[in-house]
Chain A
Amino acid sequence: MTVIANTLIVISILVGLVFTVVAVVGIIRLPDVYTRAHAASKSATLGVLSILVGVFFHFWLNEGHFSVKILLGILFLFITAPIGGHLMSRAAYVSGVKPTE
């Protein structure tokens, strides 16, 4: 049981790390604001999300503490992250930033 739990925790935290790294690499490599908004709004969301899921399962299965705050954090992240990406790319477009061809 502990082995399964730890495998689950390690896998979800690793997946979160990989997606966070991908978000950073995307922000560095992609050419303009709009394409960077893609990397930032998608990969960062899922990255932080799976790290939080890993932390949640660690405290639940190994320490016996069911943390509702982490679940609420996941919910808030789901609601706010796409709005943030949308608002940043909209602000860039309204203030006249040209996309690359």
Chain B
Amino acid sequence: MAFQILLNFFIAIVWMFLSSSATATTFVIGYLIGFILLFVMRRFFTERLYIDRVWAAFKLTVIFIKELVLSNISVLLLVIRPKLDLKPRFFALPTELERDWEITLLSSLITLTPGTVVVHVSDDQRVLYVHAIDADDVDDAIHSIKNTFEKAIKEVSRP
């Protein structure tokens, strides 16, 4: 991915030299031309075209902001309820992610989703231990949320 972006920059700079004008407009035009070239040549790369992963990262950001707002509203409703009837509980969540940054990202996302805080990552990085604030309605919902997050992260990190 880094190689493709670098190549695209390189093509843009070559375009600036060819048209012998060092302005931002020329750079943008060169970058677009370079992107079209990369798109045409896409079957020579071993990885996906980098715009795919950029788009996946953008979708992950949108999911993240949505979950942040939802989790705040749920904490608000929980806190201002006149009678506190929580069933806090710990549970284990097996994960298929392998690299360190993926697991860090997943646990940050889980910490900012409704009703869950990551307490511990197991030493072999296969299981996350999560504290849920309200046990009975959460379990299924949480697993579906985890699937969407894990899937979105995999979508970003797949080469």
Are A89 and B75 in contact, CB atoms less than 8 angstroms apart? no
Residues 25 to 59 of chain A near chain B (Cβ within 8 Å): 25-26, 29-32, 34-35, 37-39, 41-43, 45-46
A32–B111 Cα gap in the complex (Å)?
17
Assuming A22-B79, A86-B107, is B118 touching A45 (CB within 8 A)? no
Residues 55 to 73 of chain A near chain B (Cβ within 8 Å): none
Range of interface residues on A (Cβ < 8 Å): 20 to 34
* Contact of B29 with A by CB under 8 A: no
Count residues on chain B whose CB falls below 8 Å from chain A CBs. 24
A-B contacts, CB under 8 A, total: 81
Which of B75, B108, B115, B133 contacts A82, CB < 8 Å? Answer: B108
Are B76 and A19 in contact, CB atoms less than 8 angstroms apart? yes
Majority DSSP secondary structure for residues of B touching A: mixed
A31: chain B residues within 8 A (beta carbon): 84, 86
Assuming A35-B88, A42-B112, A43-B72, is B79 touching A29 (CB within 8 A)? yes
Not counting A26-B75, A42-B75, A43-B72, a sample of 7 additional A-B residue pairs whose C-beta atoms are within 8 angstroms of each other reads A26-B78, A29-B84, A30-B84, A30-B86, A41-B112, A41-B117, A85-B111
